[in-house]
Amino acid sequence: MCALTREVKPAADLIRFVVSPDGELVPDTDARAEGRGVWISLGAKAVAEAQKKKAFARSLKAEVKVPDDLAGLTRRRLEERYLSALSLARKAGQLVTGASKVKSAIETGEVLALLTATDAAEDGRNKLLGSLKGYTMAAAEAGLNPSETPHFELLDSGQMGLALGIENVIHAALTRGGAAQAAVQRAERLARYNAN
What SS3 state is found at 42?
A: coil
Dihedral (C-alpha) 130, 101, 79, 8: value to the nearest 10 degrees?
A: 50
Domain membership flag for residue 1: no
| Region for residue 120 given its phi and psi (left: phi exceeds 0; alpha: psi -120 to 50; beta: otherwise) | beta
Q: Based on the number of CB atoms within 10 Å of its own CB, is 5 exposed (0-12), middle (13-18) or buried (19 or more)?
A: middle
Contact 25, 17 (CB under 8 A): yes
Domain membership flag for residue 5: no
Residues 86 and 181 occupy one common structural domain: yes
Residues 146 and 93 occupy one common structural domain: yes
The residues of the chain scoring below 50 in pLDDT are: none
Contact 63, 140 (CB under 8 A): no
How confident is the model at residue 67, as a pLDDT? 92
Give percent helix, percent strand, percent coil of the chain, each to the nearest 5.
50, 15, 35
How confident is the model at residue 95, as a pLDDT? 95
Residues 47 and 124 occupy one common structural domain: no
pLDDT digits (tens, 9 = 90+) for 142-165: 877 767 899 999 999 999 998 888
| Region for residue 145 given its phi and psi (left: phi exceeds 0; alpha: psi -120 to 50; beta: otherwise) | left
Number of domains making up the chain? 2
The amino acid that residue 121 corresponds to is A
Residues 52 and 80 occupy one common structural domain: no
The residue range of the domain holding 167 is: 76-195
pTM, two decimal places: 0.89
CATH of residue 64's domain is: 3.30.1230.10
